């Protein structure tokens, strides 16, 4: 294994794009026109959205233009090994600020995505963080995008956190701050426990102290909390079946989507649109397709295997047993359409050092894409006292 860091450019082969084009052209869509249950959101992605997006894919979508835009972000790969697992080829964005002042050097910031996202979640927030004096490292998590995944079973959040820390150290960052949503928030919390002398502060836009379904009684909640709890309950009841599929049969669903870009689009678009706050973002066909291709090109299975490797009740049992004693300060931006919800009094008991929290009126699960300026402002404010 080499510790070399190599420049990387996305370059999907023409042969793969030709095959993709044929598959999309030949896609067969069911006809739900005029069927009431075919257009209501809770039943899944609607036929109107699918037909519009597939038509756009066939006639207007330009992957090479998207590829060129993404390649404007400086990207690299390096091989990192942790005990018990194959070395992982980690793909990451590494963008350095030019805005540092003489009195305060640049602050290294590790930005981590989740599922169904990818490293491209950093794209809109990146210039805002660079302008604020951060060196930004935004990896593709193991098994996502252009990062590999180990053959061995058991690659949970804990070894994943070790990989992310070793990436930062390899880049010369012995001390750094972390921002994460979804899986990124859980890996970040794990890093705070494993590396308290290196992680100076952690900011998250998803923070829960228990798995789905464990919410307090309604009479203990404020009006805002009741709405957030209702959203979380709706997600548990009507939107979380994908977790059971990923957790139990990731290979099966992986085979289905590996050969069907339009099937992968349906799985992705359902989550992207339903998990967002429509007051904050309207997903364009280009965005839906691009986010889908970040999973389709490498193959979607390994990103789904993460759910199987992290049985969340067991993971939270381990995490929350240690977290009350954590000294790393945590900042939390809560957006009302987030899928999970834990009231602040419960968080205060469970999280060792919840040092900062801000509640927003608009926004959902994909804060970096839905409200990049708002999330960036929170990150900059919270990290202020902990910067080098």
Q: Which of 262-266, 280-284, 350-354, 365-369 has the lowest mean pLDDT?
A: 350-354
What are the distances in angstroms from CA 379 to CA 57, 75, 205, 241? 35, 23, 10, 32
Tell me which residue has tokens 């859980």. 186
- Does the structure show a pLDDT above 60 at 38? no
Model confidence over 143-183: pLDDT tens digits? 999 999 999 999 999 999 999 999 999 999 999 999 999 99
- The residues carrying an active-site annotation are 182, 307, 365
pLDDT score at 350: 81
Domains and CATH numbers, the chain: 5-386 (3.40.50.1820)
CA–CA gap between residue 190 and residue 184 (Å, rounded): 10
Average pLDDT, the chain: 92
Confidence of residue 1 (pLDDT cuts 50, 70, 90): very low
pLDDT score at 19: 98
- What does DSSP say about strands 330-334 and 75-80: parallel, antiparallel, or unpaired? unpaired
SS3 of residue 125 by DSSP: coil
* Region for residue 363 given its phi and psi (left: phi exceeds 0; alpha: psi -120 to 50; beta: otherwise): left
């Amino acid at each position: 294994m080499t510790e070399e860091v190599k420049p990387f450019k996305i370059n999907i082969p023409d042969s793969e794009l030709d095959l993709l084009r044929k598959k999309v052209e030949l896609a067969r869509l069911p006809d739900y026109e005029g069927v009431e249950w075919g257009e209501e959101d809770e039943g899944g992605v609607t036929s109107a959205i699918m037909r519009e997006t597939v038509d756009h894919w066939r006639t207007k979508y330009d992957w090479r233009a998207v590829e060129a835009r993404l390649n404007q972000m400086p990207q690299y790969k390096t091989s990192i090994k942790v005990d018990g697992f194959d070395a992982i080829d980690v793909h990451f964005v590494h963008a350095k600020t030019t805005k540092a002042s003489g009195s305060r050097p640049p602050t290294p910031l590790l930005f981590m995505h989740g599922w169904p996202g990818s490293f491209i979640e950093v794209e809109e927030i990146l210039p805002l963080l660079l302008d604020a004096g951060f060196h930004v490292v935004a990896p593709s998590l193991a098994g996502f995008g252009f990062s590999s995944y180990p053959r061995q079973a058991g690659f949970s959040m804990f070894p994943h956190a070790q990989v992310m820390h070793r990436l930062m150290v390899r880049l010369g960052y012995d001390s750094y701050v972390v921002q994460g949503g979804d899986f990124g928030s859980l890996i970040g919390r794990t890093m705070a426990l494993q590396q308290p002398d290196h992680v100076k502060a952690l900011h998250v836009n998803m923070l829960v102290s228990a798995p789905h379904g464990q919410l307090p009684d309604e009479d203990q909640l404020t009006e805002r909390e009741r709405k957030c709890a209702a959203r979380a309950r709706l997600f548990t009841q009507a939107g979380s079946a994908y977790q059971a599929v990923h957790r139990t049969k990731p290979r099966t669903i992986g085979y289905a989507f590996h050969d069907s870009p339009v099937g992968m689009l349906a799985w992705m678009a359902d989550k992207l649109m339903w998990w967002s706050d429509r007051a904050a973002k309207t997903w364009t066909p280009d965005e839906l397709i691009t986010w889908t291709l970040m999973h389709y090109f490498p193959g979607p299975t390994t990103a789904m295997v993460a759910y199987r490797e992290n049985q969340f009740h067991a993971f939270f049992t381990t995490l929350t047993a240690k977290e009350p004693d954590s000294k790393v300060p945590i900042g939390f931006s809560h957006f009302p359409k987030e899928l999970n919800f834990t009231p602040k009094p419960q968080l205060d008991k469970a999280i060792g050092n919840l040092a900062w929290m801000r509640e927003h009126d608009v926004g959902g699960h994909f804060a970096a894409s839905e409200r990049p300026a708002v999330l960036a402002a929170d990150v900059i404010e919270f990290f202020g006292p902990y910067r080098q």
